[in-house]
Amino acid sequence: MAAIGKRVWAIAEGWIPQGDGFTDRALASHETACIVNAGESDAHIDLTIFFADREPVHYALTVPARRTRHVRFDDLTDPPVPRGTDYASLFVSDEPVVVQHTRLDSRKAEIALMTTLAYSQD
Amino acid sequence: MAAIGKRVWAIAEGWIPQGDGFTDRALASHETACIVNAGESDAHIDLTIFFADREPVHYALTVPARRTRHVRFDDLTDPPVPRGTDYASLFVSDEPVVVQHTRLDSRKAEIALMTTLAYSQD
Amino acid sequence: MAAIGKRVWAIAEGWIPQGDGFTDRALASHETACIVNAGESDAHIDLTIFFADREPVHYALTVPARRTRHVRFDDLTDPPVPRGTDYASLFVSDEPVVVQHTRLDSRKAEIALMTTLAYSQD
Amino acid sequence: MAAIGKRVWAIAEGWIPQGDGFTDRALASHETACIVNAGESDAHIDLTIFFADREPVHYALTVPARRTRHVRFDDLTDPPVPRGTDYASLFVSDEPVVVQHTRLDSRKAEIALMTTLAYSQD
């Protein structure tokens, strides 16, 4: 079977809500890039974050072979991704992967969710 | 007309909320893989579930010709899919199908929903 | 410029919630297939609804040139689409269009929303 | 590396809720087209809005090189996009971009969210 996925993925939406209705990590407002590597080699990914009014920044991620990694943008630290700020993200991997974007918003007492497959190309 | 769909589908997001606001099965927190087989032959699907920290597991699914099947991940039993755990899923079918992923989260007193077309390739 | 869209679209998810928190039509639980025809010819669409346990049914839709039509599944009448029932849908058009699927769920006092681009092919 | 994205994008869904549970701009009901331009040249975009019962209207947008722009449809002014009205949108860019569609609905006291990658072609 062919390798699963593509090497280039982009998420045009990006915005981490300011404020949480809950202190539980799983209920605090966050955005996630879910990545699955169905292949037999570890995937090394260059993640670029784009902003509306400043130059992009880069991060390095690894997703081991036969594993999924759900990366929370609020876990990125060098530099941190600001809350309440428009951004977008680009993933360039050395192995084929699949990327999906999810937001949980708990600014109010209840939560709201959204998700989408990211855009991909070779 | 050409057959509808593709044979390989992947969902990078996967996480079944722990806790339900309701006991009604339709309102309990769950994730679903909705599959439609628009063709004239039954589709036999190998489903692989990937995790962050352990080897993948496999399940066998059948979607009859001219039918849809909405598979709840919390209905998989051998082994069960753990709640509150990051996972991802891969569907490899012997017939073309279309796959969409949906989560209903009812941890709080109201529900939240999200859905996306899965990633596909031949 | 090339024509916008494709002629074959599928939505694997389909389920109209039973019960509404509101009597306002815009807040009652529903699912919609949003279709846009950016071209200069009317699009005639054969819509097939698939079920889990019975044969598919067909409907005829028209989307005029340079217009969008947001079709609520609960507005289909011959036959009506049952609530609380798994279904899926297939759109075969004589002109290129773009199709997106949305659900509003108002079973509880607040609403939940989800949407996705449908699957397309030529 | 190849340029990121495509030049033609369509969003079939479009509907700005009438009524807001909040006066805060970030919590008022709105729809957004998130656009990222990962390239080295500014992208000039012709945005067409389609309706159910009238001729389309056009807007001009620019997304600078290496930047993202999250366009709120309720910020379009010439003419404004009516609330509570079905619409759809088409983006034709002179540079490759990626487009994602998001709605926040705060008609009730809590918010609901939905998002999807838009449809793309060359």
Cα–Cα distance, C40 to C42 (Å, whole number): 7
Q: Convert the pLDDT of each residue in B24-64 to its tens digit.
A: 898 899 999 999 999 999 999 999 999 999 999 999 999 99
Identify the pLDDT of residue B109. Answer: 73
Identify the pLDDT of residue C1. Answer: 67
**Residue C19: left (phi > 0), alpha (psi -120 to 50), or beta?**
left
**pLDDT band at residue C108, thresholds of 50, 70 and 90?**
confident
Beta-bridged to residue C105, according to DSSP, are C112
C110 contact A CB<8A: yes
Identify the pLDDT of residue A1. Answer: 67
pLDDT of D20 above 80: no
Q: What H or E segment, with its residue span, contains residue A115? A: strand A112-117
Q: Convert the pLDDT of each residue in D47-85 to its tens digit.
A: 999 999 999 999 999 999 999 999 999 999 999 999 999
Shortest CA distance from B109: residue in chain A:
A110
Cα–Cα distance, B50 to A121 (Å, whole number): 23
Give me the count of residues in chain A: 122
Non-local CB neighbours of C77 within 8 Å, separated by 6+ positions: none
Q: Convert the pLDDT of each residue in B65-112 to its tens digit.
A: 999 999 999 999 999 999 999 999 999 999 999 999 999 998 877 889
- In the predicted model, what is the mean pLDDT of residues C53-76? 97
**pLDDT band at residue D89, thresholds of 50, 70 and 90?**
very high
Identify the pLDDT of residue A20. Answer: 73
Task: Give the CA distances from residue A21 to residues A106, B79, C104, in Å, rounded to whole numbers and listed in that order.
Answer: 5, 34, 23
Identify the pLDDT of residue D1. Answer: 67
Shortest CA distance from D116: residue in chain B:
B116
Q: Which residues of C touch D16 (CB under 8 A)?
A: none
Task: Give the CA distances from residue B27 to residues A79, A104, C6, C30, in Å, rounded to whole numbers and listed in that order.
Answer: 40, 19, 35, 16
Q: B70 in helix, strand or coil?
A: strand
B72 contact C CB<8A: no
Asked if the Cβ–Cβ distance from B116 to D114 is below 8 Å, we say no
**pLDDT one digit per residue (tens) for chain A, 122 residues:** 689 999 999 999 999 998 777 888 988 999 999 999 999 999 999 999 999 999 999 999 999 999 999 999 999 999 999 999 999 999 999 999 999 999 999 887 788 999 999 999 98
Non-local CB neighbours of B44 within 8 Å, separated by 6+ positions: B60, B61, B62, B93, B94, B95
Is the bond preceding D56 in cis, omega lying within 30 degrees of 0? no
Chains that touch D (3 or more CB pairs under 8 A): A, B, C
Identify the pLDDT of residue D83. Answer: 95
- In the predicted model, what is the mean pLDDT of residues C58-83? 97
Asked if the Cβ–Cβ distance from A26 to B84 is below 8 Å, we say yes
A116 contact D CB<8A: yes
Cα–Cα distance, C120 to D4 (Å, whole number): 21
Amino acid at C119: Y
Asked if the Cβ–Cβ distance from A114 to C114 is below 8 Å, we say yes
The encoded tokens of residue B49 equal 């579930």
The encoded tokens of residue B120 equal 């596909």
Identify the pLDDT of residue C109. Answer: 73
Identify the pLDDT of residue B35. Answer: 98
Q: Convert the pLDDT of each residue in D4-18 to its tens digit.
A: 999 999 999 999 998
Assembly ipTM: 0.94
Task: Give the CA distances from residue A39 to residues A121, B99, C35, in Å, rounded to whole numbers and listed in that order.
Answer: 18, 21, 37
Q: What H or E segment, with its residue span, contains residue A11? A: strand A6-11
